[in-house]
Structure 1
Amino acid sequence: MKKHLIAAVMSSAMLAPMFVANTVNAADYVIDTQGAHAFIQFKVSHLGYSFVMGRFNDFSGDFSFDASKVEQASINVDINTDSVDSNHAERDKHLRSPDFLNTAKFPKASFKSTSVQDKGDGKFVVNGDFTFNGVTKPLAIDAVMIGEGDDPWGGYRAGFTGTTTFKMKDYGMKMDLGPASANVELELVVEGIKK
């Protein structure tokens, strides 16, 4: 009896670290930028008559998410601001200048979450610190879960959309195109592959 008890205890002790490791990593994902299944897009009113739309082509990040514990979720994203792309070479050159992104001085932007509020029905608010153009300020992103599950290649994925708006002047952008063009709308599509 003692031998069986000792064997059971030893087996449990040996399996425990594996269980803990799997539990810790169970909800950790890397954002799928290599497969182009994630996007950071922006939209700015052009003088109140139209819109300039574009994206950042080079970014990376990861997140942790468990649908049963949304408040414990977190996300970190790093953006290469020099990768700005509005489908117009001369405008992109201007966007990289000190008038806007000043990419020579501030080549990176980042978002690091600080808390997540569960709004129910797959909706939540991600609060965090957004560093852009050398300025760090709190930013809230309204997020929606698209879905999660197995992929055809043996992996597991989870996907979300997010939207937020910020004022250009809050992040030290010098160019003033008038009140109609004061705000930047960001739209995020994030698909992660489970680590």
Structure 2
Amino acid sequence: MKTLLAATAALLTTSAFAADYQVDAAHSFVTFEVGHLGVSTTVGRFNELEGSFTLDDSGKSGSAELTIQSASVDTNHEARDKHLRSPDFLDVKQFPTIIFKSTSFDGETLTGDLTIHGVTKAVSFDVEKVGEGKDPWGGYRAGFEASTTIQRSDFGVSYFIPGVTDETELEVFIEGIRQ
């Protein structure tokens, strides 16, 4: 009985110091950069995403989940975006989502499982807290930026390497609304 009470108290204490946030998709973005033909960098983003995160009061632990609609890829060039949606790259009909689920967070590094093109790999993001505070509508928000570099071939996306670099830089800009 004491063990059950102690476990319940620990759970309640932990919950009291953690906050759940819903990602505000209107103020959140996932971008990527790849090299093109060794002469330039192509930048793109995904326009549709949703997710949530939990953060303790110290900002030193938490969790995050993010789901991106693959077909929302946008490089500001319609023909290129159509090609990126094709089986050569993201194959959005077969793999409609890109998913990240964290496994750990220490306040500076967010580690988790990233699934692209049906392949799941562990990745770590460098995280920087941008800020937090009350918003004008009576809510409370927190924002973060995170970055990592992946090899797209690790996820089965190897078309036209090295013309389009294997190394892909990902940047995540997240604003969440406390629930």
Q: Same fold (TM over 0.5)?
A: yes
Which AA in structure 1 matches 2:92? T
Which runs of 5 or more residues in structure 1 are unaligned? 1-19, 119-123
Does residue 156 of the first structure (1) align with residue 146 of the second (2)?
no
Which AA in structure 1 matches 2:66? V
Contact 2:19 2:57 (8 Å CA) reproduced? no
Alignment equivalent of 2:72, drawn from 61, 83, 91: 83
Offset at residue 24 of structure 1 (A): 4.7
Contact 1:114 1:129 (8 Å CA) reproduced? yes
Contact 1:60 1:77 (8 Å CA) reproduced? yes
Aligned residues: 168
Q: TM-score, with normalisation over the residues of structure 1?
A: 0.81
Alignment equivalent of 2:19, drawn from 27, 31, 50: 27
Aligned partner of 1:64 in structure 2 is 54
Structure 1 runs of 4+ off > 2 angstroms? 23-26
Aligned partner of 2:152 in structure 1 is 168
Offset at residue 180 of structure 1 (A): 6.8
Q: Given the superposition, is the C-alpha separation of residues 179 and 172 from structure 1 closer, same or farther in structure 2, using an over 3 Å criterion?
A: same
User: Distance between the aligned counterparts of 1:78 and 1:53, measured in 2?
Assistant: 20
Aligned partner of 2:123 in structure 1 is 139
CA deviation digits over 1:108-165, x for unaligned, max 9?
11000001123xxxxx000000000000000100000011110111000000000011
Local SS of the residue matching 1:93: helix
Which AA in structure 1 matches 2:168? V
Local SS of the residue matching 2:106: strand
Aligned partner of 1:92 in structure 2 is 81
- Could you say what the CA RMSD is over the residues aligned between the two structures, in angstroms? 1.9
Which AA in structure 2 matches 1:40? V
Percent identity over paired residues = 47
Local SS of the residue matching 2:95: coil
In terms of fraction of residues, the more helix-rich structure is: 1
Contact 2:73 2:81 (8 Å CA) reproduced? yes
User: Distance between the aligned counterparts of 1:153 and 1:28, measured in 2?
Assistant: 18
Offset at residue 49 of structure 1 (A): 0.6
Offset at residue 26 of structure 1 (A): 5.0
Offset at residue 47 of structure 1 (A): 1.7
